[in-house]
Structure 1
Amino acid sequence: MKREEPGVRLVVADGVGTIELSRAPVNALDRATQTELREAAHEAAHRRDVEAVVLYGGPEKFSAGADIQEMAGLEPIDMVLWASQLQAAFTAVADIPKPVVAAVTGFALGGGCELALTADHRILATETKIGLPEVKLGVIPGAGGTQRLSRLVGTAKAKEIMFTGRALSAQEALEIGLADRVVERDQVLKEAMAWARQFVGGPSLALRAIKQAVDLGTGTDLRSGLEIERTLFEGLFGTRDQLAGMRTFVESGPGKAVFTGR
Protein backbone atom coordinates (compact mmCIF):
# COMPACT_ATOMS: atom_id res chain seq x y z
CA MET A 1 0.00 0.00 0.00
CA LYS A 2 1.42 3.35 -1.03
CA ARG A 3 2.07 6.10 1.50
CA GLU A 4 0.12 9.33 1.34
CA GLU A 5 3.37 11.22 0.82
CA PRO A 6 5.65 9.27 -1.54
CA GLY A 7 9.38 9.18 -0.87
CA VAL A 8 10.13 9.35 -4.60
CA ARG A 9 8.41 11.24 -7.38
CA LEU A 10 9.05 11.94 -11.05
CA VAL A 11 8.68 15.58 -12.11
CA VAL A 12 8.77 16.27 -15.86
CA ALA A 13 9.43 19.67 -17.43
CA ASP A 14 10.81 20.69 -20.83
CA GLY A 15 11.94 17.19 -21.77
CA VAL A 16 13.79 16.45 -18.51
CA GLY A 17 12.46 14.06 -15.89
CA THR A 18 13.70 14.68 -12.35
CA ILE A 19 13.53 11.70 -10.01
CA GLU A 20 13.30 13.39 -6.62
CA LEU A 21 13.99 11.64 -3.31
CA SER A 22 11.90 13.22 -0.57
CA ARG A 23 11.78 10.88 2.40
CA ALA A 24 12.65 12.92 5.46
CA PRO A 25 14.97 13.28 7.17
CA VAL A 26 17.83 11.73 5.18
CA ASN A 27 16.22 10.02 2.16
CA ALA A 28 16.76 6.57 3.63
CA LEU A 29 15.73 3.88 1.16
CA ASP A 30 13.21 1.66 2.92
CA ARG A 31 11.18 -0.95 1.04
CA ALA A 32 8.40 1.45 0.09
CA THR A 33 10.92 3.97 -1.25
CA GLN A 34 12.67 1.25 -3.24
CA THR A 35 9.38 0.36 -4.90
CA GLU A 36 8.69 4.01 -5.68
CA LEU A 37 12.19 4.43 -7.10
CA ARG A 38 11.72 1.46 -9.40
CA GLU A 39 8.33 2.74 -10.55
CA ALA A 40 9.71 6.24 -11.21
CA ALA A 41 12.61 4.79 -13.20
CA HIS A 42 10.26 2.67 -15.33
CA GLU A 43 8.04 5.67 -15.98
CA ALA A 44 11.00 7.85 -16.96
CA ALA A 45 12.26 5.10 -19.25
CA HIS A 46 9.00 4.78 -21.16
CA ARG A 47 7.68 8.34 -21.35
CA ARG A 48 8.40 9.94 -24.73
CA ASP A 49 8.33 13.41 -23.17
CA VAL A 50 11.33 12.47 -21.02
CA GLU A 51 14.60 12.66 -22.97
CA ALA A 52 17.06 12.89 -20.07
CA VAL A 53 16.87 12.27 -16.33
CA VAL A 54 18.18 13.98 -13.20
CA LEU A 55 18.52 12.13 -9.87
CA TYR A 56 18.13 14.60 -7.00
CA GLY A 57 17.78 14.31 -3.24
CA GLY A 58 17.24 17.97 -2.44
CA PRO A 59 19.46 20.95 -1.60
CA GLU A 60 20.78 19.54 1.68
CA LYS A 61 21.43 15.83 1.07
CA PHE A 62 21.29 13.13 -1.57
CA SER A 63 20.70 9.93 0.42
CA ALA A 64 22.04 8.21 3.52
CA GLY A 65 21.40 4.87 1.85
CA ALA A 66 19.35 1.89 2.97
CA ASP A 67 17.10 2.17 6.00
CA ILE A 68 19.33 0.43 8.57
CA GLN A 69 16.63 0.38 11.24
CA GLU A 70 14.34 -1.55 8.90
CA MET A 71 17.16 -3.81 7.71
CA ALA A 72 18.36 -4.67 11.23
CA GLY A 73 15.04 -6.27 12.07
CA LEU A 74 14.99 -8.64 9.11
CA GLU A 75 15.49 -12.39 9.39
CA PRO A 76 17.95 -13.99 6.92
CA ILE A 77 15.11 -15.39 4.83
CA ASP A 78 13.51 -11.93 4.65
CA MET A 79 16.78 -10.40 3.49
CA VAL A 80 16.71 -12.52 0.33
CA LEU A 81 13.57 -10.70 -0.83
CA TRP A 82 14.71 -7.33 0.52
CA ALA A 83 18.08 -7.48 -1.26
CA SER A 84 16.48 -8.57 -4.51
CA GLN A 85 14.02 -5.69 -4.36
CA LEU A 86 16.81 -3.22 -3.57
CA GLN A 87 18.95 -4.37 -6.50
CA ALA A 88 15.93 -4.35 -8.82
CA ALA A 89 15.21 -0.72 -7.96
CA PHE A 90 18.77 0.38 -8.68
CA THR A 91 18.99 -1.72 -11.83
CA ALA A 92 15.82 -0.02 -13.09
CA VAL A 93 17.56 3.35 -12.75
CA ALA A 94 20.75 2.10 -14.41
CA ASP A 95 18.68 0.68 -17.26
CA ILE A 96 16.93 3.94 -18.13
CA PRO A 97 17.82 4.15 -21.86
CA LYS A 98 18.46 7.89 -21.72
CA PRO A 99 21.24 10.11 -20.35
CA VAL A 100 21.03 10.22 -16.53
CA VAL A 101 22.85 12.65 -14.24
CA ALA A 102 23.04 12.52 -10.44
CA ALA A 103 22.89 15.93 -8.71
CA VAL A 104 24.54 15.14 -5.37
CA THR A 105 24.46 17.45 -2.36
CA GLY A 106 25.36 16.88 1.29
CA PHE A 107 26.09 13.19 1.53
CA ALA A 108 25.69 10.07 -0.59
CA LEU A 109 26.59 7.11 1.59
CA GLY A 110 25.98 3.40 1.18
CA GLY A 111 22.92 3.01 -0.98
CA GLY A 112 23.05 6.74 -1.70
CA CYS A 113 26.46 6.30 -3.29
CA GLU A 114 25.23 3.21 -5.12
CA LEU A 115 22.29 5.18 -6.51
CA ALA A 116 24.67 7.89 -7.75
CA LEU A 117 26.72 5.14 -9.40
CA THR A 118 23.74 4.14 -11.56
CA ALA A 119 23.91 7.53 -13.32
CA ASP A 120 25.92 8.26 -16.46
CA HIS A 121 27.27 11.53 -15.03
CA ARG A 122 27.72 12.79 -11.46
CA ILE A 123 27.82 16.41 -10.30
CA LEU A 124 28.77 16.89 -6.63
CA ALA A 125 28.59 19.88 -4.32
CA THR A 126 31.91 21.02 -2.91
CA GLU A 127 31.08 19.81 0.61
CA THR A 128 29.61 16.44 -0.43
CA LYS A 129 30.80 13.28 1.28
CA ILE A 130 30.41 10.07 -0.69
CA GLY A 131 31.33 6.49 0.11
CA LEU A 132 30.40 2.90 0.88
CA PRO A 133 30.63 2.36 4.67
CA GLU A 134 28.81 -1.01 4.75
CA VAL A 135 31.88 -2.84 6.09
CA LYS A 136 31.42 -0.93 9.35
CA LEU A 137 28.08 -2.71 9.73
CA GLY A 138 29.64 -6.10 9.09
CA VAL A 139 28.23 -6.40 5.56
CA ILE A 140 29.11 -5.37 2.01
CA PRO A 141 27.43 -3.05 -0.51
CA GLY A 142 24.40 -4.89 -1.85
CA ALA A 143 22.90 -2.58 -4.46
CA GLY A 144 25.63 -2.70 -7.08
CA GLY A 145 28.44 -0.92 -5.24
CA THR A 146 31.07 -3.66 -5.52
CA GLN A 147 30.47 -3.94 -9.26
CA ARG A 148 29.76 -0.40 -10.44
CA LEU A 149 32.43 1.31 -8.35
CA SER A 150 35.08 -1.18 -9.51
CA ARG A 151 34.22 -0.59 -13.15
CA LEU A 152 34.32 3.17 -12.65
CA VAL A 153 37.49 3.74 -10.62
CA GLY A 154 39.37 0.42 -10.93
CA THR A 155 39.49 -2.57 -8.64
CA ALA A 156 42.33 -1.47 -6.36
CA LYS A 157 40.84 1.92 -5.52
CA ALA A 158 37.34 0.44 -5.17
CA LYS A 159 38.59 -2.20 -2.73
CA GLU A 160 40.41 0.42 -0.65
CA ILE A 161 37.27 2.56 -0.44
CA MET A 162 35.11 -0.41 0.56
CA PHE A 163 37.69 -2.04 2.87
CA THR A 164 38.00 1.16 4.92
CA GLY A 165 34.40 2.31 4.59
CA ARG A 166 35.65 5.88 4.58
CA ALA A 167 33.77 8.84 3.14
CA LEU A 168 35.50 10.62 0.26
CA SER A 169 35.49 14.35 -0.21
CA ALA A 170 34.04 15.74 -3.43
CA GLN A 171 37.53 16.71 -4.55
CA GLU A 172 38.92 13.18 -4.09
CA ALA A 173 35.86 11.76 -5.85
CA LEU A 174 36.61 14.07 -8.77
CA GLU A 175 40.28 13.07 -8.86
CA ILE A 176 39.54 9.33 -9.08
CA GLY A 177 36.64 9.65 -11.54
CA LEU A 178 33.80 8.96 -9.12
CA ALA A 179 32.58 12.53 -9.72
CA ASP A 180 32.57 14.27 -13.09
CA ARG A 181 32.17 17.83 -11.81
CA VAL A 182 32.26 19.64 -8.48
CA VAL A 183 30.39 22.93 -8.04
CA GLU A 184 28.98 25.04 -5.23
CA ARG A 185 25.93 23.53 -3.56
CA ASP A 186 23.49 26.12 -4.90
CA GLN A 187 24.66 25.34 -8.44
CA VAL A 188 24.36 21.54 -8.34
CA LEU A 189 20.78 21.20 -9.56
CA LYS A 190 21.20 24.05 -12.06
CA GLU A 191 24.28 22.41 -13.59
CA ALA A 192 22.63 18.98 -13.64
CA MET A 193 19.57 20.36 -15.42
CA ALA A 194 21.79 22.12 -17.96
CA TRP A 195 23.66 18.86 -18.61
CA ALA A 196 20.37 17.00 -19.10
CA ARG A 197 18.76 19.65 -21.31
CA GLN A 198 21.50 19.44 -23.92
CA PHE A 199 20.01 16.10 -24.99
CA VAL A 200 16.42 17.34 -25.37
CA GLY A 201 15.55 17.29 -29.05
CA GLY A 202 18.63 15.19 -29.76
CA PRO A 203 18.97 11.83 -31.55
CA SER A 204 17.42 9.76 -28.77
CA LEU A 205 17.81 6.44 -30.61
CA ALA A 206 21.54 7.03 -31.05
CA LEU A 207 21.89 8.13 -27.42
CA ARG A 208 20.12 4.95 -26.33
CA ALA A 209 22.46 2.87 -28.51
CA ILE A 210 25.57 4.57 -27.11
CA LYS A 211 24.47 3.78 -23.57
CA GLN A 212 23.69 0.17 -24.46
CA ALA A 213 26.97 -0.31 -26.30
CA VAL A 214 29.04 1.02 -23.40
CA ASP A 215 27.10 -0.62 -20.57
CA LEU A 216 26.81 -4.02 -22.23
CA GLY A 217 30.19 -3.95 -23.95
CA THR A 218 32.27 -3.10 -20.90
CA GLY A 219 30.78 -6.11 -19.13
CA THR A 220 32.25 -8.53 -21.63
CA ASP A 221 35.40 -9.13 -23.69
CA LEU A 222 36.51 -6.81 -26.50
CA ARG A 223 35.41 -9.08 -29.34
CA SER A 224 31.92 -9.45 -27.87
CA GLY A 225 31.78 -5.73 -27.18
CA LEU A 226 32.63 -4.96 -30.80
CA GLU A 227 29.85 -7.27 -31.93
CA ILE A 228 27.39 -5.43 -29.68
CA GLU A 229 28.57 -2.12 -31.13
CA ARG A 230 28.26 -3.33 -34.73
CA THR A 231 24.75 -4.65 -34.19
CA LEU A 232 23.57 -1.40 -32.61
CA PHE A 233 25.31 0.68 -35.30
CA GLU A 234 23.61 -1.27 -38.09
CA GLY A 235 20.26 -1.05 -36.36
CA LEU A 236 20.22 2.75 -36.55
CA PHE A 237 20.30 2.78 -40.35
CA GLY A 238 16.91 3.38 -41.84
CA THR A 239 15.63 5.31 -38.82
CA ARG A 240 14.22 8.76 -39.48
CA ASP A 241 16.91 10.30 -37.28
CA GLN A 242 19.71 8.65 -39.26
CA LEU A 243 18.20 9.70 -42.58
CA ALA A 244 17.69 13.28 -41.38
CA GLY A 245 21.13 13.50 -39.81
CA MET A 246 23.03 12.31 -42.87
CA ARG A 247 20.86 14.14 -45.40
CA THR A 248 21.22 17.51 -43.68
CA PHE A 249 24.97 16.92 -43.20
CA VAL A 250 25.40 16.44 -46.94
CA GLU A 251 23.14 19.35 -47.82
CA SER A 252 23.97 21.90 -45.12
CA GLY A 253 26.81 20.63 -42.95
CA PRO A 254 26.79 19.32 -39.36
CA GLY A 255 24.44 20.42 -36.62
CA LYS A 256 21.43 21.22 -38.80
CA ALA A 257 19.32 18.07 -38.38
CA VAL A 258 15.96 18.06 -36.60
CA PHE A 259 15.56 14.75 -34.77
CA THR A 260 12.26 13.09 -33.87
CA GLY A 261 13.40 10.03 -31.96
CA ARG A 262 12.09 7.69 -34.64
Structure 2
Amino acid sequence: MLFQNLLIDDKERIRYIIISRESKLNALNKATLAELHNAITDAFSSPAVGGIIITGAGQKAFVAGADIAEFVELDAGGGRMLAQQGQTTVFDLIENGNKPVIAAVNGFALGGGLELAMACHIRIASDNAKMGLPEVTLGLIPGYGGTQRLTSLVGKGKALEMILTADMITAAEAHQYGLVNHVVSQEELLTKAEEILNKMLLRAPLALAAAIKAVNAGTRNGVNGFETEVEEFGKCFGTADFKEGVSAFLAKRKADFKGN
Protein backbone atom coordinates (compact mmCIF):
# COMPACT_ATOMS: atom_id res chain seq x y z
CA MET A 1 0.00 0.00 0.00
CA LEU A 2 1.55 3.29 -1.15
CA PHE A 3 1.02 6.60 0.65
CA GLN A 4 1.88 10.21 -0.18
CA ASN A 5 1.84 11.57 3.38
CA LEU A 6 2.77 8.56 5.49
CA LEU A 7 5.79 6.35 5.89
CA ILE A 8 5.18 2.75 6.95
CA ASP A 9 7.94 0.72 8.57
CA ASP A 10 7.61 -2.75 10.07
CA LYS A 11 10.00 -3.74 12.84
CA GLU A 12 9.23 -7.36 13.66
CA ARG A 13 5.63 -7.22 14.99
CA ILE A 14 5.61 -3.43 15.46
CA ARG A 15 4.25 -1.28 12.66
CA TYR A 16 5.42 2.31 12.55
CA ILE A 17 3.02 4.80 10.99
CA ILE A 18 4.99 8.02 10.47
CA ILE A 19 3.19 11.18 9.40
CA SER A 20 5.53 12.69 6.84
CA ARG A 21 4.69 16.31 5.93
CA GLU A 22 7.68 17.99 7.53
CA SER A 23 7.34 21.21 5.52
CA LYS A 24 3.83 21.59 7.01
CA LEU A 25 4.92 20.41 10.47
CA ASN A 26 3.01 17.18 9.70
CA ALA A 27 -0.36 18.96 9.73
CA LEU A 28 -3.41 16.80 9.17
CA ASN A 29 -5.16 17.54 5.89
CA LYS A 30 -8.00 15.49 4.39
CA ALA A 31 -5.63 13.38 2.33
CA THR A 32 -3.51 12.52 5.38
CA LEU A 33 -6.56 11.59 7.43
CA ALA A 34 -7.75 9.32 4.63
CA GLU A 35 -4.34 7.67 4.48
CA LEU A 36 -4.30 7.26 8.26
CA HIS A 37 -7.65 5.49 8.08
CA ASN A 38 -6.34 3.06 5.48
CA ALA A 39 -3.01 2.48 7.23
CA ILE A 40 -4.57 1.89 10.65
CA THR A 41 -7.30 -0.38 9.27
CA ASP A 42 -4.66 -2.43 7.46
CA ALA A 43 -2.51 -2.71 10.59
CA PHE A 44 -5.44 -3.81 12.75
CA SER A 45 -6.38 -6.51 10.24
CA SER A 46 -2.84 -7.78 9.53
CA PRO A 47 -1.91 -10.96 11.45
CA ALA A 48 1.77 -9.99 11.25
CA VAL A 49 1.22 -6.74 13.19
CA GLY A 50 0.93 -6.89 16.97
CA GLY A 51 0.86 -3.18 17.74
CA ILE A 52 1.36 0.28 16.26
CA ILE A 53 3.59 3.27 17.01
CA ILE A 54 2.39 6.55 15.51
CA THR A 55 4.89 9.41 15.29
CA GLY A 56 5.76 12.42 13.16
CA ALA A 57 8.67 12.81 10.77
CA GLY A 58 11.53 14.98 12.01
CA GLN A 59 12.05 16.40 15.49
CA LYS A 60 10.04 19.64 15.22
CA ALA A 61 6.53 18.24 15.31
CA PHE A 62 4.46 15.16 15.99
CA VAL A 63 1.51 16.89 14.32
CA ALA A 64 1.19 20.67 14.63
CA GLY A 65 -2.58 20.63 14.06
CA ALA A 66 -5.04 20.44 11.22
CA ASP A 67 -4.42 22.05 7.84
CA ILE A 68 -6.31 25.31 8.46
CA ALA A 69 -6.30 26.25 4.77
CA GLU A 70 -8.92 23.54 4.23
CA PHE A 71 -11.30 25.20 6.72
CA VAL A 72 -11.73 28.48 4.84
CA GLU A 73 -14.62 27.49 2.58
CA LEU A 74 -16.56 25.46 5.16
CA ASP A 75 -19.92 26.50 6.61
CA ALA A 76 -21.57 25.09 9.74
CA GLY A 77 -22.71 21.93 7.96
CA GLY A 78 -19.34 21.39 6.37
CA GLY A 79 -17.59 21.84 9.69
CA ARG A 80 -19.86 19.30 11.36
CA MET A 81 -19.25 16.81 8.57
CA LEU A 82 -15.47 17.36 8.81
CA ALA A 83 -15.48 16.64 12.55
CA GLN A 84 -17.82 13.67 12.28
CA GLN A 85 -15.87 12.02 9.49
CA GLY A 86 -12.51 12.57 11.17
CA GLN A 87 -13.69 11.26 14.52
CA THR A 88 -15.30 8.16 13.04
CA THR A 89 -12.68 7.15 10.49
CA VAL A 90 -9.48 7.93 12.41
CA PHE A 91 -9.69 8.98 16.05
CA ASP A 92 -12.44 6.60 17.24
CA LEU A 93 -10.95 3.89 15.02
CA ILE A 94 -7.66 4.12 16.92
CA GLU A 95 -9.21 4.27 20.38
CA ASN A 96 -11.46 1.27 19.73
CA GLY A 97 -8.78 -0.76 17.94
CA ASN A 98 -8.03 -4.40 18.71
CA LYS A 99 -4.29 -3.81 19.05
CA PRO A 100 -2.33 -1.39 21.27
CA VAL A 101 -1.41 1.94 19.70
CA ILE A 102 1.33 4.15 21.17
CA ALA A 103 1.85 7.80 20.25
CA ALA A 104 5.52 8.81 20.24
CA VAL A 105 5.18 12.58 20.57
CA ASN A 106 8.18 14.50 19.24
CA GLY A 107 7.95 18.30 19.26
CA PHE A 108 4.64 20.10 18.76
CA ALA A 109 1.37 18.23 19.28
CA LEU A 110 -1.27 20.90 18.81
CA GLY A 111 -4.95 20.84 17.97
CA GLY A 112 -5.65 17.79 15.85
CA GLY A 113 -2.16 16.53 16.63
CA LEU A 114 -2.84 16.38 20.36
CA GLU A 115 -6.25 14.86 19.60
CA LEU A 116 -4.51 12.16 17.56
CA ALA A 117 -2.12 11.42 20.43
CA MET A 118 -5.01 11.30 22.92
CA ALA A 119 -6.86 8.77 20.76
CA CYS A 120 -3.89 6.41 21.14
CA HIS A 121 -3.80 4.06 24.11
CA ILE A 122 -0.41 5.20 25.47
CA ARG A 123 1.51 8.45 24.99
CA ILE A 124 5.30 8.84 25.26
CA ALA A 125 6.70 12.36 24.88
CA SER A 126 10.17 13.65 24.15
CA ASP A 127 11.37 16.32 26.54
CA ASN A 128 11.05 19.00 23.85
CA ALA A 129 7.35 18.29 23.25
CA LYS A 130 4.81 21.10 23.50
CA MET A 131 1.11 20.29 23.63
CA GLY A 132 -2.08 22.30 23.44
CA LEU A 133 -5.51 22.82 21.93
CA PRO A 134 -5.41 26.33 20.38
CA GLU A 135 -8.73 26.13 18.50
CA VAL A 136 -10.43 28.99 20.36
CA THR A 137 -7.84 31.39 18.89
CA LEU A 138 -9.45 30.58 15.51
CA GLY A 139 -13.02 30.94 16.73
CA LEU A 140 -13.38 27.15 16.95
CA ILE A 141 -13.31 24.39 19.54
CA PRO A 142 -11.53 21.03 19.31
CA GLY A 143 -13.50 18.86 16.87
CA TYR A 144 -11.73 15.51 16.81
CA GLY A 145 -12.66 14.38 20.32
CA GLY A 146 -10.39 16.79 22.15
CA THR A 147 -12.94 18.14 24.62
CA GLN A 148 -13.90 14.62 25.66
CA ARG A 149 -10.57 12.80 25.74
CA LEU A 150 -8.64 15.62 27.42
CA THR A 151 -11.28 15.82 30.16
CA SER A 152 -11.08 12.05 30.65
CA LEU A 153 -7.29 12.16 30.92
CA VAL A 154 -6.63 15.29 33.01
CA GLY A 155 -9.97 16.15 34.62
CA LYS A 156 -12.56 18.81 33.87
CA GLY A 157 -10.83 21.78 35.49
CA LYS A 158 -7.45 21.34 33.81
CA ALA A 159 -9.11 20.48 30.48
CA LEU A 160 -11.16 23.66 30.55
CA GLU A 161 -8.09 25.72 31.49
CA MET A 162 -6.10 24.31 28.56
CA ILE A 163 -8.94 24.65 26.05
CA LEU A 164 -10.17 28.09 27.11
CA THR A 165 -6.74 29.71 27.41
CA ALA A 166 -5.32 27.87 24.36
CA ASP A 167 -2.00 27.77 26.23
CA MET A 168 0.65 25.20 25.37
CA ILE A 169 2.10 22.99 28.09
CA THR A 170 5.50 21.34 28.31
CA ALA A 171 6.15 17.61 28.29
CA ALA A 172 6.91 17.73 32.02
CA GLU A 173 3.59 19.45 32.71
CA ALA A 174 1.77 16.95 30.49
CA HIS A 175 3.28 14.12 32.54
CA GLN A 176 2.32 15.82 35.79
CA TYR A 177 -1.29 16.19 34.60
CA GLY A 178 -1.53 12.56 33.43
CA LEU A 179 -1.73 13.49 29.75
CA VAL A 180 1.38 11.45 28.86
CA ASN A 181 2.69 8.25 30.42
CA HIS A 182 6.43 8.92 30.12
CA VAL A 183 8.83 11.72 29.19
CA VAL A 184 12.24 10.84 27.74
CA SER A 185 14.95 12.50 25.69
CA GLN A 186 14.48 12.86 21.93
CA GLU A 187 17.07 10.14 21.38
CA GLU A 188 15.23 7.70 23.65
CA LEU A 189 11.69 8.37 22.40
CA LEU A 190 11.25 5.51 19.94
CA THR A 191 13.31 3.13 22.07
CA LYS A 192 10.96 3.73 25.01
CA ALA A 193 7.87 3.31 22.83
CA GLU A 194 9.25 0.02 21.47
CA GLU A 195 10.17 -1.17 24.96
CA ILE A 196 6.62 -0.71 26.21
CA LEU A 197 4.97 -2.12 23.11
CA ASN A 198 7.26 -5.16 22.99
CA LYS A 199 6.31 -5.94 26.59
CA MET A 200 2.64 -5.84 25.58
CA LEU A 201 3.35 -8.10 22.61
CA LEU A 202 4.47 -10.86 24.99
CA ARG A 203 0.91 -11.01 26.29
CA ALA A 204 -2.14 -12.74 24.80
CA PRO A 205 -3.41 -10.71 21.79
CA LEU A 206 -7.10 -11.46 22.38
CA ALA A 207 -6.73 -10.50 26.02
CA LEU A 208 -5.13 -7.19 25.00
CA ALA A 209 -8.09 -6.47 22.71
CA ALA A 210 -10.56 -7.40 25.44
CA ALA A 211 -8.79 -5.17 27.97
CA ILE A 212 -8.86 -2.18 25.59
CA LYS A 213 -12.58 -2.73 25.02
CA ALA A 214 -13.35 -3.01 28.73
CA VAL A 215 -11.35 0.07 29.72
CA ASN A 216 -12.97 2.12 26.95
CA ALA A 217 -16.42 1.01 28.10
CA GLY A 218 -15.85 2.75 31.42
CA THR A 219 -15.71 6.12 29.64
CA ARG A 220 -18.89 5.65 27.57
CA ASN A 221 -22.16 7.27 28.58
CA GLY A 222 -24.92 4.71 28.89
CA VAL A 223 -22.48 1.78 28.92
CA ASN A 224 -21.86 -0.27 32.05
CA GLY A 225 -18.12 -0.84 32.08
CA PHE A 226 -18.40 -3.53 34.76
CA GLU A 227 -20.78 -5.54 32.59
CA THR A 228 -18.43 -5.20 29.62
CA GLU A 229 -15.55 -6.40 31.79
CA VAL A 230 -17.52 -9.45 32.93
CA GLU A 231 -18.51 -10.28 29.35
CA GLU A 232 -14.95 -9.93 28.00
CA PHE A 233 -13.54 -11.85 30.97
CA GLY A 234 -15.87 -14.74 30.19
CA LYS A 235 -14.98 -14.74 26.49
CA CYS A 236 -11.31 -15.12 27.35
CA PHE A 237 -12.04 -18.53 28.89
CA GLY A 238 -13.07 -19.80 25.46
CA THR A 239 -9.74 -18.98 23.80
CA ALA A 240 -6.79 -21.24 23.07
CA ASP A 241 -4.55 -18.50 24.45
CA PHE A 242 -6.21 -18.88 27.87
CA LYS A 243 -5.46 -22.60 27.87
CA GLU A 244 -1.88 -21.90 26.79
CA GLY A 245 -1.45 -19.21 29.43
CA VAL A 246 -2.65 -21.46 32.26
CA SER A 247 -0.64 -24.42 30.98
CA ALA A 248 2.51 -22.30 30.77
CA PHE A 249 1.93 -20.89 34.26
CA LEU A 250 1.50 -24.34 35.81
CA ALA A 251 4.52 -25.70 33.93
CA LYS A 252 6.60 -22.64 34.89
CA ARG A 253 7.48 -21.83 31.28
CA LYS A 254 6.93 -18.84 28.99
CA ALA A 255 3.59 -18.83 27.20
CA ASP A 256 3.50 -19.00 23.42
CA PHE A 257 0.37 -17.09 22.50
CA LYS A 258 -1.09 -17.44 18.99
CA GLY A 259 -3.99 -14.98 19.16
CA ASN A 260 -6.76 -17.56 19.02
When normalised by structure 2's length, the TM-score is: 0.93
- The SS at the match of 1:62 is strand
Gaps (5+ residues) in structure 1?
none
The residue type equivalent to 2:12 in the other structure is: D
The residue type equivalent to 2:127 in the other structure is: T
- In 1, Cα distance between equivalents of 2:8 and 2:47: 14
The within-5 A match list for 1:103-252 is 103-220=104-221, 224-252=224-252
Task: Please name the residue that 2:95 is paired with.
Answer: 94
Task: Please name the residue that 2:257 is paired with.
Answer: 259
Cα distance per residue 1:167-225 (max 9 Å; x no partner):
00011000000011111112111211222122234300001111000001232479x21
Q: 1:9 offset after TM fit, Å?
A: 3.8
- In 2, Cα distance between equivalents of 1:181 and 1:201: 21
Task: Please name the residue that 1:29 is paired with.
Answer: 28
RMSD of the alignment, in Å? 1.8
Q: 1:247 offset after TM fit, Å?
A: 1.7
The residue type equivalent to 1:27 in the other structure is: N
- In 2, Cα distance between equivalents of 1:189 and 1:165: 28
Judging changes above 3 Å, is the alpha-carbon distance between structure 1 residues 6 and 216 closer, same or farther for their aligned structure 2 residues? same
Task: Please name the residue that 2:5 is paired with.
Answer: 7
- In 2, Cα distance between equivalents of 1:75 and 1:221: 32
Pair 1:66 & 2:66 matched = yes
Q: Is the 8 A contact 2:96 2:212 kept in 1?
A: no
Task: Please name the residue that 2:39 is paired with.
Answer: 40
Q: 1:97 offset after TM fit, Å?
A: 1.3
The residue type equivalent to 1:240 in the other structure is: A
- In 2, Cα distance between equivalents of 1:174 and 1:80: 32
- In 1, Cα distance between equivalents of 2:251 and 2:198: 27
Percent of aligned positions with the same letter in both sequences? 39
- The SS at the match of 2:109 is strand
- In 1, Cα distance between equivalents of 2:33 and 2:139: 22
Q: 1:134 offset after TM fit, Å?
A: 0.5
How many residues are paired up?
A: 257
The residue type equivalent to 2:74 in the other structure is: L
Judging changes above 3 Å, is the alpha-carbon distance between structure 1 residues 13 and 132 closer, same or farther for their aligned structure 2 residues? same
The residue type equivalent to 2:213 in the other structure is: Q
Judging changes above 3 Å, is the alpha-carbon distance between structure 1 residues 44 and 256 closer, same or farther for their aligned structure 2 residues? same
- In 2, Cα distance between equivalents of 1:5 and 1:216: 33
- In 1, Cα distance between equivalents of 2:10 and 2:189: 18
Q: Is the 8 A contact 1:11 1:17 kept in 2?
A: yes
Cα distance per residue 1:116-166 (max 9 Å; x no partner):
001111111111100101011111000000000101111111111101010
Gaps (5+ residues) in structure 2?
none
- In 1, Cα distance between equivalents of 2:152 and 2:87: 17
- In 1, Cα distance between equivalents of 2:77 and 2:219: 33
Q: 1:86 offset after TM fit, Å?
A: 1.7
Q: 1:13 offset after TM fit, Å?
A: 2.2
